Amino acid sequence: MVKTARAGNATAAIGASLARSGRSQYVLRLYVAGTTPRSTRAVANIKKICEEHLKGRYDLQVIDIYQQPVLAEGEQIVAVPTLVKMLPGPLRRIIGDLSDRERVLIGLDLRPRE
């Protein structure tokens, strides 16, 4: 599921709901800067990875820092695109257009580190 982020933090509510259900759900936020080529590539790359590896088990929010700068400040985003894995823990950040698929999979704990 891909959403455009709105103000407010639903991560805690999602986490509590998932804890009750016992499902491993991924909550991801992708911070981008408008529709630059890098931002567009990052969105396409993470959508493809999520559909292939997390189908039905992810919530992806795409946040444009130009439209919602307060959200970027709250997460202390200093470079874009940046993917933040909110759940399951631990929190992780991956910077770049997410084209290094192996690095993204390791960062999301979908592949073991060597």
Question: Is the pLDDT reported for residue 62 higher than 50?
Answer: yes
The average confidence (pLDDT) of the chain is 85
Question: Is the pLDDT reported for residue 67 higher than 80?
Answer: yes
Over residues 39-55, mean pLDDT:
97
Both tokens of 68, joined, read: 């919602």
Q: What pLDDT, on a 0 to 100 scale, did the predictor assign at position 33?
A: 96
Question: Is the pLDDT reported for residue 9 higher than 60?
Answer: no
What pTM does this model have?
0.78
The single-letter code of the amino acid at 30 is: L
Question: Are the C-beta atoms of 60 and 83 separated by less than 8 Å?
Answer: no
Question: Is the pLDDT reported for residue 18 higher than 80?
Answer: no
Q: What pLDDT, on a 0 to 100 scale, did the predictor assign at position 2?
A: 52
Domain 2-6+23-107 falls under CATH 3.40.30.10 = yes
Q: What is the pLDDT of residues 77-96, one digit of tens each?
A: 999 999 999 999 999 999 99
Spatial neighbors of 4 by CB under 8 A, at least 6 apart, are 61, 62, 63, 64
